Amino acid sequence: MAEDDIGESWNATDTAYTSAANRPGPVTRLRHWLTDLLMPPVCLGCQEAIASRDSLCPQCWSGIDFVGAPLCDRLGIRLPYATGDVMISAAAAARPPPYARARAVAHYDGAMRDLVHGFKFRDRHEIRRLFGTWLCRAGSQLIADADIIIPVPLNRFRLLQRRYNQSAILAREVSRISGVPVLTGALRRGRRTKAQVGLTREQRRDNVRGAFDVPPRQRPRIEGRRVLLVDDVITTGATAEACTTTLLKAGAANVDVLAVAIVSDPLSVTT
C-alpha cells in the first residue's frame, strides 16, 4: 500500500471518531503551534525531522507490513484471496479460538517490531497516540460492537518490573478516541507465569492456563457485556485465549481481541 493511501485512510478514521466537540479550539491550536516551534516533530521510529507530530517518516512507514483485507474473520490473519463473503482460515476452522474475532494493525516484524519493543521495554510511550489511531482503524467493527474495553493484565511482579501495563495504555487510547469505557481491575493475572519467549503454542497455552481470574465481586461488571480485549502483540493467541475463557466464564456475552501487532509465524519469534 502506498504511503499516501495509508495517510488517507487514517484521516478517514480520524474523522469517524472525532466529534465536533473534540476538535481543538484556538487556544489548543496555538499551544500546538508553539510546541511545534519549540520542539519540531520527529519520526517516532527513527527521530528524523518530519512535518507532523505523532507520525512516521516515509521510510519507517514503508517498513510496516499492515494487515489488510482479505482477512480470516476469526483469527485476523491475512488470507491469500477474497471471495466477497466473511471468510474463515483453515487454522480457525480446524481449531476455533474462544474469542469471536481478532484484529491487529500490522505484522510483528520490521519497523513495527522496533516500535513495539521501544514502547514495551524502553518506555517510548510517545507512540501511544499513533498506536491508538491505528488500533481504532484496524478494530473499527470490533469497537462499534463493544460495551467495554479490558486490557490484558500484568501480574504485580511484572508491573513492578516494567512500571507500566502497556496494554492498559493502549486500551485508554482506544477509549479516548472511541468513547467506549475501559474496565481495569476486573480481569486479574494471579499467578506469575514464565516468559512466553521460546515456548511452543501448546507450552504457551499450558503456561497461561488458569493464570487469569475475575474476582466474584467484579462479575456484575462483566456479565452480559460485549468485551473488547486489548493486547500489544498476538503471538500464538494463547494469552488472548486464556483471558477470553476467563471472561466468558465470568459471564461476558462475547469477547473480541484487538492488538497492535500479530505474529504471522509464531515459531519465528525468538525475543
Q: Which is nearer to Zn ion, 15 or 47 (CB)?
A: 47
The strand pair at 212-213 and 148-151 is best described as: unpaired
Smallest gap from Cβ 65 to Zn ion, in A, equals 16
Question: Grid coordinates in use for 156?
Answer: 504485580
Choice from 6, 17, 55, 57 touching Zn ion (CB under 5 A): 57
Choice from 42, 43, 248, 269 touching Zn ion (CB under 5 A): 43
Q: Which is nearer to Zn ion, 27 or 49 (CB)?
A: 49
Q: Compute the distance between CA of residue 158 and CA of residue 161 in angstroms, rounded to an integer.
A: 5
Number of helical H runs and strand E runs in the chain: 12, 6
Concatenated DSSP letters for 102-114?
A: EEEEEESSHHHHH
Total residues in contact with Zn ion, by rule CB under 5 A: 5
Q: Does residue 42 touch Zn ion according to CB under 5 A?
A: no
Smallest gap from Cβ 49 to Zn ion, in A, equals 10
Q: Does residue 88 touch Zn ion according to CB under 5 A?
A: no
Q: Does residue 116 touch Zn ion according to CB under 5 A?
A: no
Instruction: Give all strands (DSSP E) within the chain, no chain letters.
Output: 102-107, 148-151, 188-189, 212-213, 226-234, 254-262
Q: Is 240 helix (H, G, I), strand (E, B) or coil?
A: helix
The stretch near Zn ion (CB under 5 A) out of 51-59, 86-94, 208-216, 235-243 is 51-59
78 bridge partner residues: 71
Smallest gap from Cβ 103 to Zn ion, in A, equals 25
Q: Does residue 60 touch Zn ion according to CB under 5 A?
A: yes
Binding residues (CB under 5 A) for Zn ion: these are 43, 45-46, 57, 60
